Structure 1
Amino acid sequence: MNVLIVDDEYSIREGLRDMLKQFAISGIPIHQVETSIDGKHAMDVLHYYHFDLLITDVRMPGMDGLTLLEHVQSRFPKMKTIILSGFDDFAYVQQALRLGAVDYLLKPVNVTDLTKTIERISTGLNDNYNIHRSWKRFNELDAFKLLTVVDIDNPQESRALEFGDWQTLSWMLRKSSFEILQDMTGVYLIEEMESRMDSCNMICGFTGESPERAMEQFERFASTLFEFWKDRVRLSISIGVSRPYRHDHSEEAPYSEALTALLTRLYRGSCIQKYPEDEQAEMGSASFARLWQQLEASLDVGDIDRVIERLHDFVRESMKQGTPRQLMWSVERLMLDLNGRINQNALIPFSIEARHITQKVNQMQWSRSEEALQQQIGKWINDLLLSNDPEEQEGQIMLKAKKYIREHLGEMISLEEVSQHTYISRSHLSRLFRNRTGQTFLEYLTDLRIEESKKMLTEPGIKIYEVAEKLGYRDWKHFSRTFKNKTGYGPAEYRANLNISPLE
């Protein structure tokens, strides 16, 4: 049994955790115990890992226990729940029971009552637990095995948004998959894999007495799930699968293979794809060789902007005539090369282990579009440079951000847009603006637009609404208010004081 404890009091959380550990020692099947500080955090945890039992406080800041229970009932209907409270209020008891709680316990929790409740719940969960495995437990199974990754292709499309938030989509994916898997044997939901993108994807394992039998299991599951989402949900999903293997493997090998197969959707669209066994990994065409030489030359001279630019060209060329396996082999080779070069030239050498680079490549392969993949690659290069020389790299990022803003003043620029262009997170870029300019991003952008508008207002004949439109303001009245707030003059008054006629 896997248990999640939710309480905003540290002493309660840890006390319950200790009790449950004692239960495991005494023979009650407690396998995993995790904690959360409130309902919102608990929902995030629930979408990443499988739990059989939820123990939650009633009164917590943010999302309280009863609200959490409502979400759990709709999205995880088979999960058992216990409500805790320091208030002997029968109204809470009634509501908790209506929401499916199996028990309602008062604080401080009585060990005897908790033990009886846990024993009663565990009796009905033994069979259900068998479908879930950690990677380690799955890998140790004595059978032919293969690993499968499943992902919703575009959780942001209009049809997906009709279902509400991403948590609802995640619940739908897990529920539909679970209903297929529970009628099969030798199949598992794999928990705790690193580098997952978000909870709108899932990892499954299939076993059989032969490679063919394991593949039959996968094909039955994949075709049923794929058609269900296509015909009933009317959203596309993609599924990638590794080669079958028998003996213990490191996590990276079959997981990387399944993700490489999944990446095929960037080339072909929504698909079910097996890992290509006989495909050559290295790019073979003359155009790829030329791009690679240019990329290495950019590395030689330390021109990181050109490295990212050439890498974008490389990805685009791969989309035309390469394969996912060839692309990611080249990306991993580049990352190892760049890491080695930076480490060699660093004043204080540092090292990123090869397995961490492999994990980062795996994370990239969850990308749902070419643009997302390009962003992941660019961000990794920036992160690597920041870890080596943060002062120098942050200065370069700010120069690039300011240049981009100046070149796009006439557009509706956002912090998110500029952060994507500079390959750092939105929050990181926001901090850089505050630390290096003393202003927020919006304050810097506004001041830049006002200074540019002053120059434009010296041009005879230009209209105020034209100035506003050329500087990204869709409402000239808003521009006028902002101008006056910054300068103390309205745009017309400012120009009049310069003795410039708007009609000349």
Structure 2
Amino acid sequence: MNVLIVDDEDTILKGLAALIAELPEAADGEIFSALNGSEALDILSVRPVDLVITDIHMPGIDGLSLTGTIRYRHPEIPVVLLTGYNDSSYMQQAIRLKAEDYLFKPVKKEDLASMFQRINQRISTDRKHGRFIREDQFDALAYPAKMIMACDLDEGGGERRSQLGNDEMILWMYRKVIYEAADAIEDIYFITASSALDGFNMLIGVGAETHEAADDKLNSLAAAIREFWSTSIKLKISFGLSAISGTAPFRALEKEACSALAYRIHQHSGIYRFASKAALPLSIQARTSLESAIEVGDAETILSELKEGLLRIFGGEAASPLPAVEELLQFLYAQLVKFYPSASIPLFNRIPKLTEKILWSRTKDQFVQLFLHEINSWLEAVVPDHSEYGIVALAKSIIHSRFSEALNVSEVAAAVYVSPSHLSRLFRARTNTTFLEYLTNVRVSEAKKRLADPKAKVYDIASQVGYSDWKHFSRIFKEATGYHPSDYRNRIVGMQATETDI
């Protein structure tokens, strides 16, 4: 049994983990830990969890809110609430939220063991007769024909989403419609998607005696869900169907289903079937340019060539981009290892991580961004000085060319394919300033140049250097120079304004 413990006190996390590790029900499973509700939801989106034990009193998303969210997103996962407060109101809320059990701190080992026995028995019973299973359990199903369907909500529909409420409400409706549609069809299974980006990524399996029966079941399910979702909910939804096999492992069928789902990137919302197609070969020119950039360690050009290669793939006729992207990835890996032999094993071990990241991409831009973000981390590991010089140099270039926009660290980080926190750390290490300080210095320097024009209005200059509010710009300028913009013009530049600035 895989267990997730959530508590804002690290000592309690470690203590509970130690107690649980001694229980026979947890002997073959993993124990995950989270210090708050947000961390817990992140873990639940990517890890197979059989039981959640959460403290009620936590900052941010507390245990009751977390339980409610789990009931919407992962209704198959039992939740046990943990608290040091003997308050009947919490008991009532726990019952309303369908919490599995309720324990008081400090937790006694015998109470924990008793709770685990009850829940393990319930989980075993549910799985025997239910539909929520793990990938290894799907592999163990003895059907002559099995299939996997990848189901996901498509991008867009912002106005309609606002009408329906927040994402939690939409996700609840999404799951409810799918589960109810599945009730009418036998041998349907819901499997945890370890590669999932969010709660809308669902993998649905089917077993049948014949290939035709398996195909009919998933097609009927997809059609029923899509019809209701499109007409009543009025948001777009897509499905990708794997090939049919009685022997192929779950992982292979999952990849086929997601590859079919990726057809939507070209052809928009729909129900798509996996079809094996030859990868689009890289042109000789593209191979030569990429190889040359790798040889000399030019990370910026490597990323640029890869982006061009991805855009060519999306511009081709192949419905699913995944086979062609894999061919591009294989060529990149071979060249990196050729020129940086020590990178062989570390990079090889990261290939599955990259494949998982891009499987559920909803748009071309998201696909490219996820791919290049991971490749950039590869280059940091193998190309000398890339993180210290290449990334920061490129970020600086973006700041100097786009300082007039409402620029922030997240946008620049996305453009250089790293996380905002990583870019912030690199920026401080390389420039001895924060990202915001550097951006502000660029804007103030540019404003100084424009203030040399006696006819230029301060509010116009503020807008031109990236500030929509001229009063805010004036405060920033004074903090940086010691003078208001008008005073700087008069006293530092030595020019008298010919007309009132504001």
Same fold, judged at TM 0.5 (above) = yes
Match of 1:263 in 2: 262
Match of 1:202 in 2: 202
CA pair 224-488 structure 1, distance change in 2 beyond 3 A = same
Shift of 1:204: 1.9
Supply the AA of the counterpart residue of 1:428: H
Establish whether residue 402 from structure 1 lines up as the match of residue 396 from structure 2: yes
User: In 1, Cα distance between the equivalents of 2:334 and 2:410?
Assistant: 31
Establish whether residue 13 from structure 1 lines up as the match of residue 11 from structure 2: no
Comparing 388-397 with 463-472, which one deviates more in the overlay?
A: 388-397
Match of 2:174 in 1: 173
Establish whether residue 336 from structure 1 lines up as the match of residue 330 from structure 2: yes
Match of 1:66 in 2: 64
Match of 2:155 in 1: 154
Match of 1:488 in 2: 482
Shift of 1:356: 3.9
CA pair 5-163 structure 1, distance change in 2 beyond 3 A = farther
Q: Which runs of structure 2 are paired with 1:92-491 in the superposition (5 Å)?
A: 92-101=90-99, 103-109=101-107, 126=124, 128-129=126-127, 130-143=130-143, 144-154=145-155, 157-191=158-192, 193=194, 195-249=195-249, 251=251, 253-277=252-276, 279-283=277-281, 291=286, 294-296=289-291, 298-299=293-294, 302-325=297-320, 327-346=321-340, 348-352=342-346, 354=348, 356-389=350-383, 391-491=385-485
CA pair 230-448 structure 1, distance change in 2 beyond 3 A = same
Shift of 1:267: 0.6
CA pair 142-66 structure 1, distance change in 2 beyond 3 A = closer
Q: Deviations over 1:455-495 (max 9, x none)?
A: 22123422222221211111222212211121111111111
User: In 2, Cα distance between the equivalents of 1:323 and 1:41?
Assistant: 38
User: In 2, Cα distance between the equivalents of 1:294 and 1:280?
Assistant: 23
CA pair 166-289 structure 1, distance change in 2 beyond 3 A = farther
User: In 2, Cα distance between the equivalents of 1:115 and 1:180?
Assistant: 37
CA pair 250-352 structure 1, distance change in 2 beyond 3 A = farther
Alignment check: 8 A CA contact 1:166 1:200 kept:
no
Q: Could you say what secondary structure the match of 2:385 adopts? A: helix
Gaps of 5+ in 2: none
TM-score normalized by structure 2? 0.85
User: In 1, Cα distance between the equivalents of 2:259 and 2:72?
Assistant: 34
CA pair 465-83 structure 1, distance change in 2 beyond 3 A = closer
CA pair 74-282 structure 1, distance change in 2 beyond 3 A = closer
How many residues matched?
492
User: In 2, Cα distance between the equivalents of 1:84 and 1:349?
Assistant: 46
Alignment check: 8 A CA contact 2:57 2:63 kept:
yes
Q: Deviations over 1:121-141 (max 9, x none)?
A: 666655532312222221233
Comparing 456-465 with 263-272, which one deviates more in the overlay?
A: 456-465
CA pair 35-427 structure 1, distance change in 2 beyond 3 A = closer
Supply the AA of the counterpart residue of 1:219: N
User: In 2, Cα distance between the equivalents of 1:74 and 1:246?
Assistant: 32
User: In 2, Cα distance between the equivalents of 1:468 and 1:249?
Assistant: 60
Counting aligned pairs with the same residue, the percent is 33
Establish whether residue 22 from structure 1 lines up as the match of residue 45 from structure 2: no
Shift of 1:94: 4.0
Comparing 129-138 with 418-427, which one deviates more in the overlay?
A: 129-138
Comparing 146-155 with 216-225, which one deviates more in the overlay?
A: 146-155
Alignment check: 8 A CA contact 1:258 1:275 kept:
yes
Q: Could you say what secondary structure the match of 1:351 adopts? A: helix
Alignment check: 8 A CA contact 1:75 1:168 kept:
no
CA pair 352-239 structure 1, distance change in 2 beyond 3 A = farther
Comparing 403-412 with 96-105, which one deviates more in the overlay?
A: 96-105
Q: Deviations over 1:4-59 (max 9, x none)?
A: 5444412552255247x33579xxxx987655444343344445567665443333
Q: Deviations over 1:211-259 (max 9, x none)?
A: 22221121122112222221222211211122112224372x3232222
User: In 2, Cα distance between the equivalents of 1:114 and 1:445?
Assistant: 54
Q: Deviations over 1:330-371 (max 9, x none)?
A: 332332222232233238444346574254134223222111
Alignment check: 8 A CA contact 2:4 2:31 kept:
yes
CA pair 392-500 structure 1, distance change in 2 beyond 3 A = same
